[in-house]
Amino acid sequence: MTQVQVVGAGECGLPLARRLLDNGVKVTLITDRDPAAVLSGSVTSTQVKFARTLELEAAAGLGAWRTLAPPIRGIRLTVAVDRSPVVTWAAPFDSPAHSVDQRTVFSHHLTEFAAAGGDLQIAPISLTDLDERAADADLTVVTRASGELAACFPADPDWALPAAPMRRLAVVYLDGAEPDPDGMGMFLALPGLGEVVSTATLTGAPGQERRCDNLMFAAVPGGPLDVFTRDSSPAQRLAQATELVERYFPPELARRFRTVELTDSGGTLVGAVTPTMRRPVGLLPSGTPVLGGGDVLCRMDPAGAQGANSAVHCGIHYADAILAHGDGRFDTEWMESTGQQWLTETAHPAARWTMTMLNPPPALNELMMAGGQDPALARAFAATFARPAAMSALGL
């Protein structure tokens, strides 16, 4: 019987492991935190999953929140200077998107994986540990890695990426925000300063979920929005967030966030992401090849709202490829082909979209402005969030 080892229990590793388990494959899932630790920890990101991703999850039996999560019906885009809107428009998605706190998602799926008979191992894993473990598996897939383990996967020379983060990020999960009147997600562009994104979200322990809103500041490094530090307290971050809202948001948007409080002490996150693109196959010190997936191969700024979608697509794609391969040998050629298909069809278009959004060319600025006068154009632009490959049809 095929035996697969999955390292990392996130948006890629969890659906991969569960889909394999449900189809009779022996799976070991290795992660460094148990469900209780995940649930009681800090938020890991913001996340918006669009219709194609939600359909994939539902088909794989992972759509636990399909009827619970508040629908995100589209985008309300505003470009503002000195608190005054330069342009504003709203456009619906073809189908609603959802956002569910990853603490809720990951703790639920970890519990369900173990209950279904999966081999869940809670342990930090070093490069040496993985090299020893890989000898006992037919295939090892690394979906979370840093340091020396991540360095096993070579950088993709075809991508010229910034050597530093394009944005400094801060996230707060909030109770008490005034909902968007049409159920839209907010995308506020502040030229020269950065972007602010907000969506309705589901949070809380599985079975006790409730609606909240998240608010993410994506600050140009060193600019006026870049005020958050890793050593600040949750209360300080909330105070800084509300101050920025009053200072830079147009009044009609600022009003939505005037009576907010944090959902919990873990409802904040501060950090930054250096863009990364790697090749699919890594070599362990012994020479054993391993397949990379998700953030290990493609890591982009979450302000583009693509990471969770790309990762889920990767997990499901890899699972289907493994199941179709049967008891065949998972050699380097198979790994390269399987990983490259996901990169080409999903990850690379999402990465290009994100880079374009964070460093907009004149054509994108003109498109956002024109959306205020042309609803069809606004809707076509909104559709690129769900299908980044559609960006080329708009001349971007």
Domain end call among 236, 255, 273: 273
- Considering the domain architecture, whether residues 87 and 227 belong to the same structural domain is answered as yes
pLDDT at 369 (0 to 100): 85
Considering the domain architecture, whether residues 141 and 265 belong to the same structural domain is answered as no
Statement to judge: residues 261 and 195 lie in one domain: yes
- 198 shares its domain with 262: yes
pLDDT at residue number 291: 98
For helices 375-386 and 362-370, the axis angle rounded to 10 degrees is 120
Last residue of a domain, one of 231, 248, 273: 273
Domain containing residue 82: 71-100+164-273
Question: Is 244 domain-assigned?
Answer: yes
Within-domain flag for 314: yes
Same domain for 300 and 337, yes or no, is yes
DSSP letter string over 94-144?
EEEEB-B-HHHHHHHHHHHHHHTT-EEEE----HHHHHHHHTT-SEEEE-S
In a domain, 62, yes or no: no
Same domain, 321 and 255: no
349 is a domain residue: yes
What is the number of other CB atoms lying within 10 angstroms of the CB of residue 84?
8
pLDDT at 396: 67
In a domain, 369, yes or no: no
The pLDDT value given to residue 302: 81
Instruction: Give domain status of residue 90, yes or no.
Output: yes
240 with 319, same domain? no
CA distance to 276, 279, 342, per residue, from 158 (Å): 12, 10, 16
Long-range contacts of 210-214 (CB under 8 A, 24+ apart): 211/70, 212/101, 212/173, 212/174, 212/175, 212/177, 212/263, 212/267, 213/173, 213/174, 213/177, 213/179, 213/260, 214/43, 214/46, 214/99, 214/171, 214/172, 214/173, 214/174
In angstroms, rounded to a whole number, what is the distance separating the alpha carbons of residues 296 and 291?
A: 10
Task: Indicate whether 95 and 178 sit together in one domain.
Answer: yes
Structural domains in the chain (count): 2
226, 297: one domain: no
Q: What is the DSSP string of 75-94?
A: EEEEEEETTEEEEEEEEEEE
Task: List per-residue pLDDT tens for the chain, 396 residues long.
Answer: 689 999 999 999 999 999 999 999 999 999 999 999 999 999 999 999 999 999 999 988 899 999 999 999 999 999 999 999 999 999 999 999 999 999 999 999 999 999 999 999 999 999 999 999 999 999 999 999 989 999 999 999 999 999 999 999 999 999 999 999 999 999 999 999 999 999 999 999 999 999 999 999 999 999 999 999 999 999 999 999 999 999 999 999 999 999 999 999 999 999 999 999 999 999 999 999 999 999 999 998 887 778 899 999 999 999 999 999 987 789 999 999 999 999 999 999 999 988 888 888 888 888 888 888 899 989 988 888 888 877 776 766
Same domain, 184 and 323: no
Residues 265 and 190 grouped into a single domain: yes
Q: Where are the beta strands (DSSP E) in the chain?
A: 3-7, 26-31, 72-81, 84-97, 119-122, 139-142, 168-175, 184-190, 194-203, 210-219, 261-262, 268-272, 276-277, 281-283, 289-292, 298-299
Q: Would 223 be classed as within a structural domain? A: yes
Let me know if residue 51 belongs to a domain.
no
| 218: CATH | 3.30.9.40
The reply to whether 210 and 318 lie within a common domain is no
Last residue of a domain, one of 273, 299, 316: 273
pLDDT score of 360: 84
CATH number for the domain spanning 305: value is 3.50.50.60
